[in-house]
């Protein structure tokens, strides 16, 4: 029986190469191995996993369902080994091919992804950046198990278990399409706010729940007639309706600028609620030179 202690890790490299190339010959070329050597390794892999793994077809080596299931964890394992080896290499931004893995909230994606990617291309042109949408439900696990290197956003509750760096502080405002029937000035009453029809964005669900809880404490409710999955759809929805949305001020300012002043932004009719947008990472990466460099780069940037 094969266990971790007696497994030849080179077999995982062969598995990954076949999965990528869908050809024993091309897999051998990428690994600098002969085709018989790759075939022998595939035979051993089939014994270990008790599955054919790859079936020869006209289109190439077709992965079985078991191989498809194994592909992601094997890929992550190989990437983890590569990263471990980088500790002894140091970090040279201009020549590094490091893959940075990040999770950003919907708001952070809109405000920070473009500045981060532009700075990365300018200072570390060979490096790569993989970004996924941060989910409050699994972001802590993803950081702790090494699936991602860092997370960015308004993520209350993570600070006690992870290291963090405050990037900027924001506040909520409300925004709607400009029209003659709106209140003048930059504020509205609580009664006016609750009388308007609202749109809520599901990617900002925790903040929306906080908003509704605050309104209930004030003896008020709001009518939410539309729920959107992401903020990207919001400007077009607002331009074609009288709906109002509650969102971070920086995001409202960005949308206002992109739509050339066609929106009206109001302060909320209650005490300011601060939103801390921070960079989070696990303590295991404290001494990773590439992550230290990346943290400094992100800390220097300004949201768009």
Q: Where are the domains of the chain?
A: 4-86, 99-168+276-300, 171-273
Strand partners, 166: 278
Task: List, for residues 137-175, the tens digit of each pLDDT value.
Answer: 788 888 887 889 999 999 887 766 689 999 999 999 999
Take residue 82 and report the two structure tokens written for it. 């590569």
C-alpha distances in Å from residue 292, one per residue of 90, 140, 175, 279, 284:
11, 19, 38, 12, 12
pTM: 0.71
What is the rounded CA–CA span in Å between residue 268 and residue 239?
21
CATH topology for the 171-273 domain: D-Maltodextrin-Binding Protein; domain 2 (3.40.190)
Task: List, for residues 230-249, the tens digit of each pLDDT value.
Answer: 999 999 999 999 999 999 99
Q: Angle between the 10-21 and 35-49 helix axes, to the nearest 10 degrees?
A: 110
Q: What's the CATH code, domain 4-86? A: 1.10.10.10
Exposure pattern of 49-71 as b/e (b: 16+ CB <10 Å)? beeebbeeeeeebebeeebeebe
Task: List, for residues 105-133, the tens digit of each pLDDT value.
Answer: 999 999 999 999 999 999 999 999 999 98
| More confident: 196 or 141 | 196
Task: List, for residues 10-44, the tens digit of each pLDDT value.
Answer: 999 999 999 989 999 999 998 999 999 999 999 99
* Fold match flag (4-86 vs 99-168+276-300): no
Q: What's the CATH code, domain 99-168+276-300? A: 3.40.190.10
Q: For residue 282, what are the contacts with CB-CB under 8 A and spacing of at least 6?
A: 143, 144, 146, 162, 163
């Amino acid at each position: 029986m094969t266990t971790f202690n007696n497994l030849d890790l080179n077999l995982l490299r062969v598995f990954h190469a076949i999965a990528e190339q869908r050809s024993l010959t091309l897999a051998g070329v990428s690994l600098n191995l002969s085709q018989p050597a790759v075939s022998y390794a595939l035979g051993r892999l089939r014994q270990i996993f008790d599955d054919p793994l790859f079936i020869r077809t006209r289109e190439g080596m077709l992965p079985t369902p078991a191989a498809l299931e194994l592909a992601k964890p094997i890929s992550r394992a190989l990437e983890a080994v590569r990263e471990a080896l980088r500790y002894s290499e140091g970090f040279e931004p201009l020549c590094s091919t490091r893959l940075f893995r990040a999770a950003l909230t919907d708001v952070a994606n809109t405000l920070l992804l473009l500045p981060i990617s532009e700075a990365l291309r300018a200072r570390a042109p060979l490096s790569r950046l993989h970004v996924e949408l941060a989910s409050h439900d699994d972001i802590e696990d993803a950081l702790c198990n090494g699936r991602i290197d860092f997370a960015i956003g308004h993520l209350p509750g993570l600070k006690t278990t992870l290291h963090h760096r405050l990037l900027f502080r924001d506040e909520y405002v409300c925004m709607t399409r400009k029209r003659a029937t709106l209140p003048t000035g930059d504020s509205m009453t609580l009664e006016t706010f609750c009388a308007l029809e609202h749109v809520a964005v599901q990617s900002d669900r925790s903040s929306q729940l906080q908003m509704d809880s605050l309104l209930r404490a004030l003896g008020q409710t709001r009518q939410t007639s539309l729920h959107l999955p992401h903020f990207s759809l919001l400007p077009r929805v607002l331009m074609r309706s009288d709906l109002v949305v509650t969102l971070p001020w920086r995001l409202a300012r960005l949308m206002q600028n992109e739509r050339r002043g066609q929106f009206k932004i109001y302060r909320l009719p209650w005490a300011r609620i601060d939103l801390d947008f921070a960079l989070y990472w696990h303590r295991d990466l404290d001494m990773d030179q590439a992550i230290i460099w990346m943290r400094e780069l992100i800390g220097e940037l300004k949201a768009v």
